[in-house]
Structure 1
């Protein structure tokens, strides 16, 4: 897992989310780490939403420059 100052890229974040989901769906969920995994999933979802929002803003800027 990346250190606290390094954010994963979108694809890496989705991959990590997928792994967490598979862990949580498994029969052998480690209850001692459950809250940590859910918190990490929340962080990754927020990161992905921010990346999508930033990409959307950039796309809108580029297309506005093309139109104007």
Structure 2
């Protein structure tokens, strides 16, 4: 099995959505890279997808972790 957590594109500014060329020019990741669901499916197309979803927001006092600007797969 393979698990993944990463920034979700279009999720309130968390993670950079700059094109690759811009990242190369600036020489930085600007806090991390954000991906769409289609981009993740393309990158991992050689694997069988079990689940790909946005995390559920969890309250600070929750024993669980979850932020809606992150993908869980």
TM-score by length of 2: 0.23
More strand, by proportion = 2
More helix, by proportion = 1
